[in-house]
Copies of this chain bind each other. A is one copy, B any other.
Amino acid sequence: MAQSKTDPRVIRTRKSIMDSFITLSETKEFKDITVKDITAEAAINRATFYYHFEDIYDLLEKALSEVLLVNLDSAVYENRRLDEETFTGIFEAVTNFQKAISHRCHSGYEETIARIIREQLEVIFFKLLSKQHPAEKAQTLSLTAVMLSWGIYGASVEWKRNAQLPPEEFIKAALPYIRHGLD
């Protein structure tokens, strides 16, 4: 509730730029997408791009964060509790995201994407934990969220390496331990 509503032009323009970037990324790899490509696709001025984003790496982060955030939010949706179902949904969202972008970033972006995923996971875990344990110290919740995000991300990497099971089966093995720890 901090900022008193943002200008609709800003919302439109940012969305247009991000959408164009996602659209282009279905054709080209990230490294082959230029700022000119994006502004041409979005039919906005190049100066306007730099009004909203530092550079194309900034856009990459914000666009991917946004996509992941939407997936995570819809995975959590009504389940405010951090239960097994929510965990499974979150893990599926992460693996879907990884699959979706695996074709588009053949080199050099792995660590960036890893960080994006962990950051978004941390945010959502912190929110869920705060609801579930309102009395707990913020520092404790924050640290727990950090550890969970690293853990889930690590599990998704492991899943990618030898994916015999579907994600929801794969993560099932870990759930009792996570829950036990949480409870």
Identical chains in the assembly: 2
Q: Which residues of B contact A161 (CB under 8 A)?
A: none
Q: Which residues of B contact A163 (CB under 8 A)?
A: none
Contacts of A24-83 to chain B: CB distance below 8 A: 43-45
Report the nearest B residue to A16, measured CB to CB. Answer: B12
Any B CB within 8 A of the CB of A176: no
Any B CB within 8 A of the CB of A8: yes
Q: Which residues of B contact A12 (CB under 8 A)?
A: 43
> How far apart are the CA atoms of A12 and B16 in the complex, in Å?
11
> How far apart are the CA atoms of A12 and B11 in the complex, in Å?
14
Q: Which of B8, B43, B45 contacts A43 (CB 8 A)?
A: B8
Q: Which residues of B contact A45 (CB under 8 A)?
A: 8
Q: Separation in Å of the A10 CB from the closest CB of chain B?
A: 12
Report the nearest B residue to A11, measured CB to CB. Answer: B43
Q: Separation in Å of the A16 CB from the closest CB of chain B?
A: 9
Q: Separation in Å of the A39 CB from the closest CB of chain B?
A: 10
